[in-house]
Homo-oligomer: A and B are copies of this chain.
Amino acid sequence: MEGEIASGSKISEPELARKFNVSRAPLREAMARLERCHLIERIPNAGARVVKLSTEGLRALYQIREELEGLACRLAAENMDDHEIEQLRGLLDQHLTTQRVREGESYYQEAGDLDFHYRIIIGSKNPYLINMLCDELYFLVRMYRVQLGMNGPRVSRAFDEHKAIINAIANRDGELADLLMRRHIAASRGNIELKLQQLGK
């Protein structure tokens, strides 16, 4: 995810097993999980390679995200209880004080439970949705984030958008939360796409 192993480089099962001093069995399963998360791609009988980030990949991924996280917002507006919403508000305030101070540095890099989107998805209470987003797509999303991390004016703007979304959810206005989330994700995509074109190629 963090780019430590170069994009497109080959991942050898026996080689990594030696490197980490484990047998092939657990490493095999680990690679199966990576494949499920779309972090590696397999070519039959020719090995596995680290995914390459691309504009087309980003587009395809974010098309799904818009739809699914929009739905997550609608469901979260129905299903999150007041306590959870308050907790999420607290998380945002915490981000404001700890992270946003060093402006433009690193909003958005938190993992798991500390991530805003993650929490909303959990809040939807739909097990299939949670599984698909948190256990499969999210690692790839985070890979784009980490390697083409957001900075500049987008940081504070994203924070404001998060605020607006949580407000809509707190007002139990699922329709609005849905719309705001879709726009938020679309904007985020635009930002990353720009970086991809500048840096990547």
Q: Which residues of A100-139 are within 8 A (CB) of B? A: 126-129, 131-132, 136-137
Quick check: B64 and A129 within 8 Å, CB to CB?
A: yes
* Interface of A (DSSP majority class): helix
Q: Does A147 contact B (CB under 8 A)?
A: no
Interface residues on A, range: 20 to 34
Quick check: B75 and A71 within 8 Å, CB to CB?
A: no
Known: A25-B25, A132-B132. A63 touches B126 (CB 8 A): yes
Query: Roughly how many angstroms separate A71 CA and B69 CA in the complex, as a whole number?
Result: 13
- Contact pick for A64, options B29, B38, B61, B132, CB 8 Å: B132
Number of copies: 2
Known: A25-B25, A68-B68. A129 touches B63 (CB 8 A): yes
Q: Which residues of A3-56 are within 8 A (CB) of B? A: 25, 29, 32, 36, 38
Residues of B with C-beta under 8 A to A64:
68, 71, 126, 128-129, 132
- In the assembled complex, how far is the CB of residue A66 from the closest CB belonging to chain B, in whole angstroms? 9
Residues of B with C-beta under 8 A to A132:
64, 132, 136
Residues of B with C-beta under 8 A to A61:
128
- In the assembled complex, how far is the CB of residue A91 from the closest CB belonging to chain B, in whole angstroms? 26
Residues of B with C-beta under 8 A to A128:
38, 60-61, 64, 137
- In the assembled complex, how far is the CB of residue A108 from the closest CB belonging to chain B, in whole angstroms? 21
Residues of B with C-beta under 8 A to A29:
32
Residues of B with C-beta under 8 A to A67:
67-68, 70-71
Query: Roughly how many angstroms separate A9 CA and B128 CA in the complex, as a whole number?
Result: 22
Q: Using CB atoms, name the residue of chain B closest to A75.
A: B63
